[in-house]
Structure 1
Amino acid sequence: MSQELEQRVVELETRVAFQEHALNELSDALAQVRLQAAQNAELLRHSLEELKQARGAFYADPAEEPPPPHY
């Protein structure tokens, strides 16, 4: 193998190794973002459920309220 060709192969191998490393880092970051998004979605769902329950406590059912005193 000529010196120039060997140098080009080494450079290409270096680039591929760098790209593989970058791809692994991006994959890890994406996995973390997906996990955090799932946690946030669960937290939001839980918060909305609590809000619905709290709203129900604030607004009484008209059928359960006693009639006004003028009846």
Structure 2
Amino acid sequence: MTDTSDKLTDLEIRLAHQDQQIHDLSDMVTRQWHEIDRLKKSLQKTESRLSVLEEDADEGQGPVYEKPPHY
């Protein structure tokens, strides 16, 4: 009986560890997904700004941000 009981206990321990690992991985994927969304929004904002700057330069308005005179 103790052999079967030991095997059952070992399986329960392994299952508990696997459940914790699955939970940890799920949390990690969720955090990474939020970070990817944040980075996508940042990239879109940057692309939009760059597009506006390029349009201004194409229209002959010159650069919006000029180098300071000490350069």
Identity %: 17
Distance 2:19 2:59 in 1: 61
Normalised by the size of structure 2, how large is the TM-score?
0.82
Deviation at 1:40, TM superposition (A): 0.4
**TM-superposition CA deviations, 1:11-57 (whole Å, max 9, x none):** 00000000000000000000000000000000000100000001111
Shift >3 Å, 4+ stretches: none
Normalised by the size of structure 1, how large is the TM-score?
0.82
Amino acid of the structure 2 residue aligned with 1:14: I
Name stretches of at least 5 consecutive residues in structure 2 with no aligned partner. 61-71
User: Which of structures 1 and 2 has the bigger CA Rg?
Assistant: 1
How many residues are matched? 60
Matching residue of 1:40? 39
Name stretches of at least 5 consecutive residues in structure 1 with no aligned partner. 62-71
